[in-house]
Amino acid sequence: MIRQLRNTSQNNDPSKTEIISPKRSSVNSLFEETSYRAIKVAQRRKWTFIGSVLFVLVLGVSFIIYNNIAKNKESKLAAEFASIDMIYNQENLAFQKLAEAAKDKLPQDASPDYSNSMALFAQYALDHPAEPSGWQAAVRAASYFMTKGQNIKAKEVLESIESYVNKFPLVEIRVRTALASLYAEEQNSQKAIEELKRVEEIPSNPLPNQARLLKGQILFLSGNKPEAQKVFNQIISTTSEASSLDISGQTSQIQQQAKIWLSYIDL
């Protein structure tokens, strides 16, 4: 009996009962918090990845759409230019047939009538002044108009593309030089010289003396002989322009012309 009571008291002893270890509880809480953070990080990475994929997808689709639009535009421009060029070729062919039929009886100054194609080229340039094909059309039309004495039409076409060709030196040189000639024809010497100064200052201009020669001629014809003399002397004293680009000896020819004009001043 005594032994039984003793065993019962030992079993009821609070010191003998199982309790949860505080250390073990802290570890569990830390593990749960760490797991929660890991899950949140994983979720953020998942959404970041999804967002990146969607961004790349949208960007790719936008590029494809833009590329298709650009290609369609280029195709339309090329087709329109080709149709005008076809009219030009037909005009040329008509003249050849006329010449064959006339059997050398055509006047020496006879030439093809390109009025229809050049009018279309001019309109094409006015409609597409920022496009390289528009510049080509403008130069072709302006050259034709100038040979026919239609300077107003030539100036209108060239002025429409003037502000778009400044990143293409060879085109800019041709356009501005032609405009300078047209302004000189209108007795607008100041505007002509301004255009030629811009041509002179183009860094990649292989022959700035060509612009100087025209500038000197305009100054001379407008009565400003002292300034013209300075320009012609500058051309004659220039020796640095001879290069591989000057295959036909244009530099020496320009200098020779400058000497001739200079002799007129001395008379």
Q: What percent of the chain has pLDDT over 70?
A: 71
pLDDT for 116: 96
pLDDT of 121 above 90: yes
Q: At what angle do helices 151-161 and 169-185 cross, to 10 degrees?
A: 150
Question: Whole-angstrom Cα distance, residue 54 to residue 52?
Answer: 5
pLDDT for 206: 86
pTM of the model: 0.69
List the one residue out of 84, 88, 92, 87 whose CA is nearest residue 127.
84
Q: How confident is the model at residue 16 (pLDDT cuts 50, 70, 90)?
A: very low
pLDDT of 15 above 90: no
pLDDT of 242 above 50: no
The residue among 173 and 29 whose pLDDT is bigger is: 173
List the one residue out of 135, 156, 142, 254 whose CA is nearest residue 205.
254
Per-residue pLDDT of 69-120, as tens digits, reads 556 778 899 999 999 999 999 999 998 888 888 777 777 778 889 999 999 9
pLDDT of 205 above 50: yes
pLDDT of 182 above 90: yes
pLDDT for 66: 45
Show me where the domains of the chain are located: 59-104+111-164, 166-238+249-266
pLDDT of 258 above 80: yes
Neighbours of 238 (CB within 10 A): 16
CA 181 to chain centre: 26
Question: Whole-angstrom Cα distance, residue 104 to residue 62?
Answer: 61
Q: Give the fold, CATH level 3, of 166-238+249-266.
A: 1.25.40
pLDDT of 207 above 50: yes
The residue among 49 and 6 whose pLDDT is bigger is: 49
User: Which of 73-87, 182-196, 233-247 bottoms out in mean pLDDT, i.e. has the lowest?
Assistant: 233-247
pLDDT for 92: 92
Q: What percent of the chain has pLDDT over 90?
A: 53
pLDDT for 24: 47
pLDDT for 49: 65
The residue among 167 and 80 whose pLDDT is bigger is: 80
